[in-house]
Amino acid sequence: MQGINHYQPQLFVYVNLEKLIPKNHILRKLDKIFNLSFVRKLTAKYYCDSNGRPSIDPELFFRMILIGYIFGIKHDRRLCEDITCNVAYRWYCKLNLDDDVPDHSSLSKIRDRYGSEVFENFFDKVVEECRINGLVKGESIMTDGSLIDANTSIDSMIAKDKDIAKAEVNALKERKATDRMPNRKISNETHISKSDPDSSLAKKEGTARALRYKMHSTIDADSRVILDSQITTGATHDTKVYLERIKYIKTKYKLNIKEAIADRGYGAIDNIKSLNEEGITTYIPLFSNRSGSTAKEMADAGFKYDYTNDRYMCPEGKIMYPKRHKDTTSYHAKISTCKTCPSFTACVAKSRKGGERVVLRNPNQDLFEKEILRMQEEIFHKKLKERMWKIEGIFSEAKNMHGLSRAKYRGLQKMQIQAHMTSATQNLKRLVISLTPTFITVLLQYISLEFWKSIICTIKYKTSNSFSYI
């Protein structure tokens, strides 16, 4: 017989929210290990103690925000709706079933009031908690960058020059409905987004050019805890911010960094040289496969470099003297010597006006050659493979599960807020996992405890027997 559910709304309902939340729910675990009461002190300066009506509790605000990032809820309006009807969310926010959930507009106003500084301090507190619990050694770090789509369209770009911008607008007004859109040559130098001026055109291989931001993240290589997440425009090259962020991390957390791992995008020779001078071993491929290749090709052709006197000797035994330039040194032979040389026509050195032959050598040539040899070592390849699944997995997790595939807001400062909160969320997940005992860890602890108990008992027994014989 087919059953029928007869629903009769109850006038009064007694519900214990505590019993409704599963014991293994991530919010229950998070609430147990991470106390958010510190945010009141963190935000105290943004409120007046003696005037105005009571604000939304800052702890409630951060609990709501964390729920949004943990479960990948991208919009404040949707977040407030979900907290209204989700019992677990209400429990974590310390809201009863009949309590009102703050409006989404209030979240926006509070976020604007705090600015990026408060969220950076929140992220720092999470890192400190990870460090207290032994998740941050800081001896080995990994760095990578990832592009994030801006919350705007490429069609929002207008010319920086007012006359050109006016001409483009007029062209669009005169366009008929059946006409194709006029072709525009746009670049970061000539155009800017009207709705999000901080974003910039950028592209990655296999993707179309679009307005984007870039996040540069550095993690602890052992625990994968994120130590730093810096937002720049999409067009900012990785090498420009690398040394600055490494110095920031080292100073802020007082880390004893022993090795740094990154991809080819960070492989500028100046970066490698600076880190090596600080005693940091680098596993960073050179930015270009052609780095330092000119001098190597000359050496293979028979040109010998004299380290003592800083000069070259050509295959015919002629001396080539140095001339200093900004980024390189050129070595020149006398024109009269080159013209009478029997190998003049077959010489592989570059030819200048008048028949003068020139060999170019980078000041860091020795370091180039050293790094090229290191790049062939097995340990070097092993570190790069480890980097791929560790830090690239961090970005994949952030984009697929925590809403970082696209900017929630507009502007560099608000994008930085999103980066800090996403990274804080990922660190909290690792903290939860590390502090949540599993069956295996409990079993090992039990075995270890019983083992040492038995050892102690045996020692006591033998000691007592030995004393009895005296």
Q: How far apart are CA 400 and CA 82, in angstroms?
A: 20
Q: Which two tokens stand for residue 124?
A: 């720092």
Residue 358: closest CA among 403, 303, 405: 303
* DSSP letter (8 states) at residue 353: G
Q: What percent of the chain has pLDDT over 70?
A: 84
**Beta-sheet pairing, 329-332 with 226-233:** unpaired
Q: Which two tokens stand for residue 51?
A: 């005037």
CB count within 10 Å of CB 163 equals 8
98 in Cβ contact with 13 (< 8 Å): no
Confidence check: pLDDT of 214 > 80: yes
- Residue 347: per-residue pLDDT: 75
Domains delineated in the chain: 17-132 (no CATH), 140-153+188-288+372-410 (3.30.420), 293-361 (no CATH)
Confidence check: pLDDT of 384 > 50: yes
- Residue 283: per-residue pLDDT: 92
DSSP codes, 408-422 = SSSSHHHHHHHHHHH
Please, what's the b/e burial string for 103-131 (b: 16 or more CB within 10 A of its CB; e: otherwise)? eeebbeebbeebebebbbebbebbbebbb
State pLDDT tens for residues 168-179: 666 666 666 656
- Residue 70: per-residue pLDDT: 94
- Residue 18: per-residue pLDDT: 83
Mean pLDDT of the chain: 83
Could you tell me which residues come within 8 angstroms of residue 255 by beta carbon, excluding any fewer than 6 positions away?
A: 136, 138, 139, 141, 249
State pLDDT tens for residues 122-177: 999 999 999 999 899 889 999 999 999 999 888 888 888 777 777 766 666 666 66
Confidence check: pLDDT of 89 > 60: yes
Confidence check: pLDDT of 82 > 90: yes
Give the residue-averaged pLDDT of 236-261.
Answer: 90
Could you tell me which residues come within 8 angstroms of residue 118 by beta carbon, excluding any fewer than 6 positions away?
A: 42, 43, 46
Give the residue-averaged pLDDT of 359-374.
Answer: 80
354 pLDDT band, cuts 50/70/90, is low
- Residue 16: per-residue pLDDT: 80
- Residue 468: per-residue pLDDT: 35
pTM for the complete prediction? 0.81
State pLDDT tens for residues 28-49: 999 999 999 999 999 988 888 8
315 pLDDT band, cuts 50/70/90, is confident
Q: How far apart are CA 28 and CA 447, in angstroms?
A: 28
311 pLDDT band, cuts 50/70/90, is confident
Confidence check: pLDDT of 255 > 60: yes
